[in-house]
């Protein structure tokens, strides 16, 4: 399907959807949208007298969340709250009660009910984690008029659709320090996500301190790794937010870093293993035929598993192309001896040995969907990353796994590092209309957004994760029928800026990069460009992984840009509306943009140039040129072939990828040119 058609369809869906989902109260910026919500006319005033009281044993998590709730509320509203901590009587104006402490497992109950009256608020839940989810809902309800902040009178009963609502962060390709992880954990909790999958090892680095095998961090991390104390700190921090932590130690492929430290585990004798600086799939692979391999992994896992209390332990297992196995005679002999026909069989052999090691350590094995082979025990959890877009039938490995009796989690469709639109990710329906038995359905635990970091540093990672992941969180939490894109976008705008409260840097670091690019000159013209540009998608930036090294600059224009360019969305919608109905209103809206863009290069050219700015210049020139021409034609409603040709040429130039971004108003501009050609040409 061509891009234009998608946009037109989305636009129509939007207009239909506005009526179809009228039951969504558009004036509440809740995300994820709760199961049931009813409203009254009551208003609970947020003033200095607000207090919280907690009924429930072991109040660690809830007390912590309540204190943070009060801090966030006071900073959001400016209200000087008298009591900065939960009070000891049961008479708080916000009354919290719960029964048990969640174990942080796939069996947790996260439901809650929230009842807001004029005088008090009641938040109840089975578990402490349910309370955490409810407190986030309450905070999202903060509303104001000119003189007061208040919570609107609503009754909400809520529970998640899926029990596994995850975000994976790759800390291997670019190391992400503890503060990056913590702020993302806070953001996750704010949209009720509950699984943090920590991709800790890969070709580009081994990121955990090992006391058993210290060469791992000494030789294979460039000094960028988490100490065991930091790991414990993060796991504890996550637990306080009701978030489970699943570590991933990727084997037997993606192992350049491990083999840099311990080459004796490698499949190719004499190979010069080194930390990988580029991106992609590489050859270094652990040798699954050696005893020392299993000694090493058992010792390593024995050291690592106590750091991660969760039931599951992710061993990666993906993208092993087996090149070094093929080149190793001993491995070939081993395969023959053990009647392992393919490398896939050999890897299954390896995985099953790992499964036993992990079981002994009280853990269940989780791995990317390549581990799902006939002999793999169904106690393993299958992480589905391949679906229709990798050429598989509908439902992909997720449905296969569920039908084969494996518990499974979906990431296909949620690779947020591909820089696709929030519309795309939000529209992914994990199960859809595929018929499953109750048991099969129960095997589908949920999903994970995956943030691979070949191109994301601590400076930019937040803008790659947020706000899109909030919409994905809604996909995992809310009912299947909550799928109106336009309504989601309205709410997302508010959620996005409120993520700043939690320290998320997606908005502010954009300006930091632009100040860097301009050497601290006026960034307005770059901002206006940025609002219609998006980084190249689906791995078209850094194609084949050989342009950027891990230590290349990631402070370029593409790094400041992000998905869902904000002006482009409004402009494009206006264009399609105009093309549909030829009304003045959308025409004026789009003309306003054309006017702004036509003048933008003048401002751009006032910035003293430099080598970082220079490559952006053609984009700026062509945008102004195209906009000016088009604006002139649309205004005077008259043109000729010659002028149109100049316009088309300018437009073609504009559509060339520049500085790793694409200009996402190209298709609508093209449609407008077609329109002019059809309606305004005079011979």
* 148 makes contact with its own copies (CB under 8 A): yes
Nearest distance from C-beta of residue 74 to its own copies, angstroms: 5
Nearest distance from C-beta of residue 78 to its own copies, angstroms: 4
Dihedral, 173, 316, 246, 502 alpha carbons, nearest 10: 30
| The two structure tokens encoding residue 669 | 């501009």
CB atoms within 10 A of CB 265: 23
Please tell me whether residue 510 adopts helix, strand or coil conformation.
helix
Minimal CA–CA distance to 244: which of 210, 275, 198, 290? 198
Under 8 Å between Cβ of 316 and 251: yes
Stretch that binds its own copies, among 147-155, 436-444, 583-591, 665-673 (CB under 8 A): 147-155
* 605 makes contact with its own copies (CB under 8 A): no
| The two structure tokens encoding residue 52 | 């919280």
Nearest distance from C-beta of residue 210 to its own copies, angstroms: 17
| The two structure tokens encoding residue 447 | 């999903």
DSSP E strands, 302-443: 312-316, 364-368, 381-384, 407-410
Tell which one of 178, 274, 361, 436 touches its own copies (CB under 8 A). 178
Interacting residues with its own copies between 510 and 569 (CB under 8 A): 511-512, 515-516, 519-520, 548-556
Under 8 Å between Cβ of 230 and 224: no
Nearest distance from C-beta of residue 515 to its own copies, angstroms: 6
Under 8 Å between Cβ of 343 and 325: yes
Nearest distance from C-beta of residue 98 to its own copies, angstroms: 20
Nearest distance from C-beta of residue 14 to its own copies, angstroms: 22
**Nearest residue (CB) to its own copies, 99 versus 303:** 303
**Nearest residue (CB) to its own copies, 19 versus 80:** 80
Under 8 Å between Cβ of 196 and 238: yes
Interacting residues with its own copies between 181 and 220 (CB under 8 A): none
Tell which one of 347, 509, 598, 622 touches its own copies (CB under 8 A). 509
**Nearest residue (CB) to its own copies, 371 versus 613:** 613
* 500 makes contact with its own copies (CB under 8 A): yes
Stretch that binds its own copies, among 143-151, 204-212, 370-378, 576-584 (CB under 8 A): 143-151
* 433 makes contact with its own copies (CB under 8 A): no
Tell which one of 18, 20, 79, 274 touches its own copies (CB under 8 A). 79
Tell which one of 99, 109, 222, 632 touches its own copies (CB under 8 A). 222
* 88 makes contact with its own copies (CB under 8 A): no
| The two structure tokens encoding residue 468 | 């899109």
**Nearest residue (CB) to its own copies, 596 versus 638:** 596
* 87 makes contact with its own copies (CB under 8 A): no
Interacting residues with its own copies between 234 and 293 (CB under 8 A): 277
Tell which one of 342, 610, 652, 656 touches its own copies (CB under 8 A). 610
Catalytic residues: 319
Nearest distance from C-beta of residue 213 to its own copies, angstroms: 21
Tell which one of 274, 392, 507, 587 touches its own copies (CB under 8 A). 507
**Per-residue interface string for the shown chain with its own copies, residues 438-477, x marking contact by CB under 8 A:** ----------------------------------------
Q: Which residues fall within 8 angstroms of residue 118, CB to CB, at 6 or more apart? A: 42, 43, 44, 153
Tell which one of 67, 587, 644, 681 touches its own copies (CB under 8 A). 67
Question: What stretch of H or E contains 147?
Answer: none
d(CA 42, CA 44): 7
**Nearest residue (CB) to its own copies, 339 versus 520:** 520
Looking at residue 199, the DSSP 8-state letter turns out to be: E
Interacting residues with its own copies between 611 and 650 (CB under 8 A): 611-612, 614
What are the residue ranges of helices labelled H in 519-616? 524-530, 557-560, 566-581, 584-605
**Nearest residue (CB) to its own copies, 419 versus 613:** 613
* 146 makes contact with its own copies (CB under 8 A): yes
Using N-to-C axis directions, what is the helix angle for 617-636 and 584-605, rounded to 10°? Answer: 140
**Nearest residue (CB) to its own copies, 507 versus 587:** 507
Minimal CA–CA distance to 431: which of 465, 481, 470? 481
**Nearest residue (CB) to its own copies, 354 versus 561:** 561
| The two structure tokens encoding residue 676 | 């002019």
CB atoms within 10 A of CB 610: 11
DSSP E strands, 456-566: 533-535
* 26 makes contact with its own copies (CB under 8 A): no
**Nearest residue (CB) to its own copies, 19 versus 551:** 551
d(CA 116, CA 137): 12
d(CA 37, CA 19): 19
**Nearest residue (CB) to its own copies, 324 versus 464:** 464
Please tell me whether residue 602 adopts helix, strand or coil conformation.
helix
**Nearest residue (CB) to its own copies, 229 versus 645:** 229
* 227 makes contact with its own copies (CB under 8 A): yes
* 177 makes contact with its own copies (CB under 8 A): yes
Question: What stretch of H or E contains 364?
Answer: strand 364-368
| The two structure tokens encoding residue 264 | 């004796």
Q: State residue 464 phi and psi, 5-degree precision.
A: -85, -25
d(CA 41, CA 119): 13
d(CA 38, CA 670): 46
* 609 makes contact with its own copies (CB under 8 A): yes
Using the Cα atoms of residue 368, residue 370, residue 374 and residue 375 in order, give the sign of their dihedral. negative
Dihedral, 603, 608, 610, 614 alpha carbons, nearest 10: 30
Q: What residues make contact with its own copies under the rule CB under 8 A? A: 64, 67, 70-71, 74-81, 84-85, 144-149, 177-179, 222-223, 227, 229-230, 233, 277, 493-494, 497, 500-501, 505, 507-509, 511-512, 515-516, 519-520, 548-556, 609-612, 614
């Amino acid at each position: 399907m061509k891009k234009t058609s998608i946009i037109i369809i989305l636009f129509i869906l939007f207009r239909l959807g506005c009526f179809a989902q009228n039951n969504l109260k558009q004036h509440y910026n809740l995300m994820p949208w709760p199961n049931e919500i009813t409203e009254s006319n009551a208003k609970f005033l947020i003033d200095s007298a607000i207090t919280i009281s907690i009924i429930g044993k072991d109040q660690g998590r809830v007390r912590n969340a309540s204190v943070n709730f009060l801090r966030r509320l006071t900073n959001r509203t400016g209200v000087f709250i008298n009591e900065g901590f939960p009070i000891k009587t049961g008479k708080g104006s916000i009354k919290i009660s719960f029964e048990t402490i969640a174990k942080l497992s796939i069996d947790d109950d996260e439901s809650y009910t929230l009842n807001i009256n004029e005088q008090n608020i009641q938040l109840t839940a089975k578990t402490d984690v349910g309370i955490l989810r409810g407190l986030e809902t309450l905070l999202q309800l903060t509303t104001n008029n000119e003189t007061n902040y208040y919570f609107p009178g609503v009754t909400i009963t809520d529970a998640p659709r899926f029990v596994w609502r995850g975000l994976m962060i790759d800390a291997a390709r670019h190391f992400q320090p503890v503060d990056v992880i913590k702020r993302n954990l806070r953001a996750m909790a704010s949209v009720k996500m509950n699984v943090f999958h920590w991709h800790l090892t890969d070709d580009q680095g081994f990121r955990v301190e090992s006391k058993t095998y210290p060469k791992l961090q000494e030789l294979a991390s460039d000094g960028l790794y988490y100490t065991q104390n930091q790991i414990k700190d993060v796991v504890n921090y996550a637990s306080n937010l009701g978030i489970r932590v699943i570590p991933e130690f990727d084997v037997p492929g993606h192992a350049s870093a491990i083999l840099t430290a311990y080459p004796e585990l490698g499949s190719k004798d004499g190979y010069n293993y080194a930390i990988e600086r580029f991106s992609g799939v590489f050859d270094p692979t652990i040798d699954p035929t050696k005893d020392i391999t299993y000694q090493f992994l058992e010792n390593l896992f024995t050291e690592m598993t106590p750091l991660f209390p969760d039931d599951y332990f992710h061993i990666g297992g993906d993208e092993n192309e087996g090149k070094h196995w093929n080149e190793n005679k001993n491995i070939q002999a081993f395969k023959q001896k053990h009647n392992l026909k393919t490398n896939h069989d050999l890897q299954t052999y390896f995985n099953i040995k790992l499964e036993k090691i992990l079981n002994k350590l009280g853990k269940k094995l989780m791995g990317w969907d390549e581990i799902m082979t006939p002999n793999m025990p169904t106690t393993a959890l299958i992480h589905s990353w391949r679906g229709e877009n990798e050429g598989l039938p509908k439902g992909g490995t997720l449905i296969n796994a569920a039908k084969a009796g494996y518990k499974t989690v979906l990431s296909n469709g949620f690779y947020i590092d591909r820089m696709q639109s929030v519309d795309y990710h939000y529209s992914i329906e994990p199960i859809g209309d595929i018929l499953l038995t109750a048991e099969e359905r129960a095997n589908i635990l949920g999903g994970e957004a995956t943030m691979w970091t070949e191109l994301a540093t601590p400076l930019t990672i937040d803008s790659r994760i947020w706000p899109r992941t909030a919409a994905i969180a809604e996909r995992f939490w809310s009912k299947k029928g909550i799928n109106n894109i336009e309504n989601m976008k309205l709410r997302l705008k508010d959620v996005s800026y409120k993520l700043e409260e939690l320290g998320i840097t997606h908005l502010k670091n954009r300006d930091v990069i632009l100040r860097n690019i301009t050497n601290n000159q006026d960034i307005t013209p770059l901002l206006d460009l940025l609002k219609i540009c998006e980084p190249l998608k689906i791995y078209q930036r850094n194609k084949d992984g050989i342009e950027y090294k891990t230590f290349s600059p990631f402070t370029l224009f593409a790094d400041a840009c992000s998905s869902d360019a904000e002006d482009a969305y409004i402009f494009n919608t206006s264009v399609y509306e105009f093309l549909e109905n030829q009304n003045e209103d959308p025409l004026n809206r789009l003309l306003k943009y054309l006017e702004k863009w036509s003048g933008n290069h003048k401002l751009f050219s006032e910035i003293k140039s430099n080598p970082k700015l220079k490559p952006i210049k053609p984009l700026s020139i062509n945008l102004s040129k195209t906009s000016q021409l088009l604006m002139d034609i649309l205004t005077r409603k008259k043109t000729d072939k010659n002028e149109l040709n100049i316009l088309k040429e300018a437009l073609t130039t504009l559509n060339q990828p520049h500085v790793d971004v694409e200009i996402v108003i190209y298709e609508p501009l093209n449609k407008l040119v077609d329109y002019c050609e059809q309606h305004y040409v005079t011979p």
